[in-house]
A and B are shown apart, each in its own frame.
Chain A
Amino acid sequence: MTANGRAMIHLEGVTKVFYTDEVETHALATIQLEIKKGEYVSIAGPSGCGKSTLLSLLGLLDSPTDGKYWLDGKQVADLSLSDRARIRNLQIGFIFQSFNLIGDLTVFENVELPLTYRGMKAADRRQRANDALERVGMAHRARHLPSQLSGGQQQRVAVARAVAGSPLILLADEPTGNLDSKSGEAVMELLRELHRGGATLCMVTHDPRYARHADRTIHLFDGRIVEESAATAAS
């Protein structure tokens, strides 16, 4: 079994076990998964089933206990810490449930942050960050601090930060979990728009309303993929 040339993400037999105080938690068991370029995949399942764990494996925040992982055709399961940091920086965009903007940096600086880790020139960074803020409609708040924004606005800034570096794939973990339904809807619309523009998107969500928008939904239960369903109302 080799990596599919067109698969952006290919997991094979991936398991994740956490060892804490003599307790073994089998968070993920023999996961097989493929996500193609330009696909919009949502991950669903009850609390504690391993959704976030899967997402952080995909985002190289953590490495699997066992199994193989090809990202864009390259084996990435056993890379060093610094190589993983590099790939995260260049190829992955994160959107978190709790936004995770850095409180002491302005909106603009937050968006620019991943670009600075690439050693990009200041002028290029400014250009890209401004474009990204433009895209999420937050350019006018560039000089503000995160604490001066509403939750929905903060999440839009977080999206801008995720897309500013033109990653291969966007990973979002319940991006609307901390938002009221109106702001949540706006953020989801933003992600749909990015998907329409060609972005590959993998999103954890509890909300079936949002899962509908995805091309495909993966259902997890107790660390296993129990069902894959094609979207009922793909855009």
Chain B
Amino acid sequence: MDAILQDLRYGLRMLLKNPGFAAVAVLALALGIGANTAIFSVVNAVLLRPLPFPDPDRLTMVVSVNPAKGFPKFPASPPDFIDWRAQSRVFEEMAAVDGAPYNLSEGTEPERLNGSRVSASFLGVVGVKPVLGRDFLPEEDREGAEPVVLIGHGLWTRRFGSDPGIVGRTIALNGKRRTVVGVLPQGYTFPNRSEVWTPIAFDHDELSGRGAHYLHVFARLKPGTTLEAAQVEMDTIAERLRKQYPDSNTGWGTLVSPLSEMMVGKIRPALMVLLGAVCFVLLIACANVANLLLARATERQKEVAIRLALGAGRLRLVRQLLTESAILGLLGGLGGLVLALWGTDLLVAAGGDNLPRFREVSVDGRVLLFTLGLSLVTGLFFGVVPALQASRPDLNETLKEGGRGGTSGPGRHRLRSALAIGEIALALVLLVGAGLMFRSFQRLLSVDPGFRPDHLLTLDVALPETKYPDGARQTVFLRQALERLGALPGVVSAAAATTVPLAGGVISYSFSIDGQPEQPPSNRSSARYDAVGGDFFRAMGIGILRGRGLLDSDVAGGPRVAVISSGMAHKYFPGENPIGRLIRIDNDHERAPREIVGIVADVKHSSLDGEAAPHVYEPLAQAPSTWLTFVLRATVEPMSLATAARQAVLAIDREQPVSEMKTGEALVSDSVTQPRLAMILLSVFAAVALLLAAVGTYGVVAYSVSQRTHEFGVRMALGAGRREVLGLVVRQGLVLAAAGVVLGLLVAAGATRLLAGLLFGISPTDPITYGLVAVILTFVALLACVVPARRATLVDPMTALRCE
């Protein structure tokens, strides 16, 4: 213990004696460890930390799958859900959820709330209990039950001043009064970032529509039951349903998967790539510090020799040197922690709303432990080779070289050179990765979404069915809203749709075309669907390719019409003219035929990187909806219309909130949050890597120049000029760079394969990226040689030859 304290004291003194060295080393390590800590805290929150529910391992989602139709994960239909729940034995509880926005009209300002309609068993499934009041009763999710609601802690404090008397009171949601039966714990918003939960009750229509898939089904496995056993049982049930309801269920199966996987499975590959990237950054930092330590080991040979002469054992000496590097590691870790705290704040701000579980990212005990462990391991890792080297000064060799009057060249610095080459190679891999992500992201942004996102404002309105129970009333609201919104100064045209592109909402329906062979419902093709009102295509900037758009004259009671996308025309009317043909859409029971009156351009509805799916549109006037997204084509900055638009809606209905106000550009950019964040992070890490590699190369070359002063003196005495000396140094830098670049390119060719899934429109072996990066790295390595090379030319041969 005493010895360790002494080692610590001495180690600190040695570091303070050489503050420049210590500062560079600590900074390099802080960058490496900071990047690792930041990314690890994300991985920890998103992938490692169990979901914040009791026994999260037993939480699953059950989804419908239809591989033939290309639905790997699809919501369930109400009748399927009812059958699953009745027939399965492996689950303790099963619950269905449907996202439902609610308009809260209490007090002054109406407010739109995220909400969920859930089975009464839902809280039992996730294992959450109200902090106030009670859970739903089993009978409360039946038709005709008393209207009740559970509210979130946030809403309770925000709107009701944390009044404990809230339980038992009624609040107006979507124009209907519901009794608050409980308040859920603080921070609980699952699913859909909900603030209100209401019981889901299925009416007769819903219970007979096996083709309507919209329920998210959560289930808790019985203790001791495996996922595989659950899957086997659900397969049997699905098989039974296929036989029993061939019309609707042919081709449909089920998949049981862990809830955590469903929530974060999509982001895992990107996080793994980033974790690999920061690992590289740390390796580079370690190589840098090891290089510094090696240089110092040479300087300290004399001290070490004296210690050895005084009888210090080699082990004792190595321990002393390792204590020093452990101190460096810990200081670096401390710096890294500061960087990480700051970095995670930025990360949460950048990804919080659009990426799963990002709100939970924080530096917790596990992250701290990770950082501490990483700092110590790092300290040992970069310290052990220099310590072993230093503790074994080859006096014989040193004396011999000195005695013979030879000069030491690069040969003696093979290890240091190898480290620099490694750094350059790793930096190159990161740069290639970042370059690929950058180019991929550029391609993603240059994708034509099919509509014009500039000068566009979108806003959501969800009409409560209590107040707008029928199509006629909904249509009146729509017409008034379009009139008022369209009349706002700065608005060119106003329109509405059930969903707009890239906003997250997607509706699909199966359909059939008259004159083509009739299929049972389960075999019908399906297409994206939207009902639109106003001059939707013009407002959105979606081109009409043939025929006409949907007009105000397409009214309820008039001839039913539809417009299809160009992709749909090509796929389902190959070589034919779709205009005038009749299409039947499975969104109503009559399956009334609509005449196709126009063809519009394809739109990337769900994501920029996906294919534009076939899309069918019909007039809102003929298929009214309570869910409306208004779009305003503006001549002014779209967000400047926000207040006026809100007021225009309030002027029609004082209790009607609007939500999700977004510009068209925000729709596009929010839809690429994940690739953007991955690209930015990878670029930052690559930049740090490049900097560290440049510093590392500089260190090696500068050290070697200082060691070769005598040699340069000799050469100059023999007539070497500035150019020759410069050439010598630059050649050394070039050799390092070339070796590092070649090695890096080989590694990159393999490593970037892991990136393939994250890239869009660019190959992981894109030669332009590789070439550019190789050039940049070589250039930077040469830049790192400039200062040492200049110093070499300033060597005074007289002085150099004198002091040997």
The reply to whether A82 and B721 contact each other, CB–CB distance below 8 Å, is yes
Confirm or deny: A89 has a beta carbon within 8 angstroms of a beta carbon on chain B.
yes
Which chain A residues border B718 with CB–CB below 8 Å? 88-89, 94, 113-114, 117, 161
Which chain B residues border A103 with CB–CB below 8 Å? 401, 404, 406-409, 411, 711
Which A residue's beta carbon lies closest to that of B725? A85
Which chain A residues border B802 with CB–CB below 8 Å? 52
The reply to whether A101 and B720 contact each other, CB–CB distance below 8 Å, is no
Which B residue's beta carbon lies closest to that of A149? B404
The reply to whether B720 and A117 contact each other, CB–CB distance below 8 Å, is yes
CB of A104, distance to nearest CB on chain B (Å): 3
Which B residue's beta carbon lies closest to that of A53? B798
Q: Which of A18-45 contact B (CB under 8 A)?
A: none
Which B residue's beta carbon lies closest to that of A150? B404
CB of A163, distance to nearest CB on chain B (Å): 12
Confirm or deny: B557 has a beta carbon within 8 angstroms of a beta carbon on chain A.
no
Describe B's contact surface by its main secondary structure.
helix
Confirm or deny: B467 has a beta carbon within 8 angstroms of a beta carbon on chain A.
no
Which A residue's beta carbon lies closest to that of B717? A94
The reply to whether B410 and A104 contact each other, CB–CB distance below 8 Å, is yes
- B762-804 vs A, CB cutoff 8 Å, 1 = contact: the mask equals 0000000000000000000000000000000000011001101
CB of A165, distance to nearest CB on chain B (Å): 8
The reply to whether A102 and B400 contact each other, CB–CB distance below 8 Å, is no
The A-B contact count (CB < 8 A) is: 87
Which chain A residues border B357 with CB–CB below 8 Å? none
Q: Given A85-B720, A102-B711, A103-B401, A96–B801 Cβ distance below 8 Å?
A: yes
Which chain A residues border B721 with CB–CB below 8 Å? 81-82, 85-86, 117
Confirm or deny: B432 has a beta carbon within 8 angstroms of a beta carbon on chain A.
no
Which chain B residues border A178 with CB–CB below 8 Å? 405
Q: Given A88-B717, A117-B724, A102–B404 Cβ distance below 8 Å?
A: no
Which chain A residues border B408 with CB–CB below 8 Å? 103-104
The reply to whether A62 and B801 contact each other, CB–CB distance below 8 Å, is no
Confirm or deny: B714 has a beta carbon within 8 angstroms of a beta carbon on chain A.
yes
Confirm or deny: B715 has a beta carbon within 8 angstroms of a beta carbon on chain A.
yes
CB of B719, distance to nearest CB on chain A (Å): 2
Which A residue's beta carbon lies closest to that of B404? A147
Contact of A59 among B401, B405, B717, B722 (CB under 8 A): B717
Task: Give Cα distance in the complex from A178 to B402, angstroms.
Answer: 12
Which chain B residues border A56 with CB–CB below 8 Å? 798
Confirm or deny: B632 has a beta carbon within 8 angstroms of a beta carbon on chain A.
no
Contact of B406 among A62, A89, A96, A146 (CB under 8 A): A146
CB of A3, distance to nearest CB on chain B (Å): 23
Task: Give Cα distance in the complex from A59 to B401, angstroms.
Answer: 27
Confirm or deny: B679 has a beta carbon within 8 angstroms of a beta carbon on chain A.
no
Q: Which of B387-444 contact A (CB under 8 A)?
A: 400-401, 404-411
CB of A15, distance to nearest CB on chain B (Å): 16
Which chain A residues border B720 with CB–CB below 8 Å? 85, 89, 117
Interface size of A as a range: 20 to 34
The reply to whether A100 and B714 contact each other, CB–CB distance below 8 Å, is yes
Confirm or deny: B293 has a beta carbon within 8 angstroms of a beta carbon on chain A.
no
Which A residue's beta carbon lies closest to that of B407? A103
Q: Given A61-B797, A100-B801, A102-B714, A154–B719 Cβ distance below 8 Å?
A: no
Which chain A residues border B400 with CB–CB below 8 Å? 147
Which chain A residues border B745 with CB–CB below 8 Å? none
CB of A19, distance to nearest CB on chain B (Å): 14
The reply to whether B404 and A151 contact each other, CB–CB distance below 8 Å, is yes
The reply to whether B717 and A81 contact each other, CB–CB distance below 8 Å, is no
Confirm or deny: A99 has a beta carbon within 8 angstroms of a beta carbon on chain B.
yes
Confirm or deny: B694 has a beta carbon within 8 angstroms of a beta carbon on chain A.
no
Task: Give Cα distance in the complex from A86 to B719, angstroms.
Answer: 6
Q: Which of A132-187 contact B (CB under 8 A)?
A: 146-147, 151, 154, 161, 178
Task: Give Cα distance in the complex from A149 to B714, angstroms.
Answer: 19
Confirm or deny: A231 has a beta carbon within 8 angstroms of a beta carbon on chain B.
no
- B691-716 vs A, CB cutoff 8 Å, 1 = contact: the mask equals 00000000000000000001100111
Task: Give Cα distance in the complex from A161 to B562, angstroms.
Answer: 95
The reply to whether B804 and A82 contact each other, CB–CB distance below 8 Å, is no
Q: Given A101-B405, A178-B405, A88–B715 Cβ distance below 8 Å?
A: no
Q: Which of B708-755 contact A (CB under 8 A)?
A: 710-711, 714-722, 724
12 contacts between A and B (CB under 8 A): A85-B716, A85-B719, A88-B717, A99-B405, A100-B407, A102-B406, A102-B407, A103-B407, A103-B409, A103-B711, A104-B408, A147-B401
Inter-chain pairs besides A118-B719, A154-B405, 5 sampled, C-beta below 8 Å? A81-B722, A104-B407, A104-B411, A117-B720, A178-B405
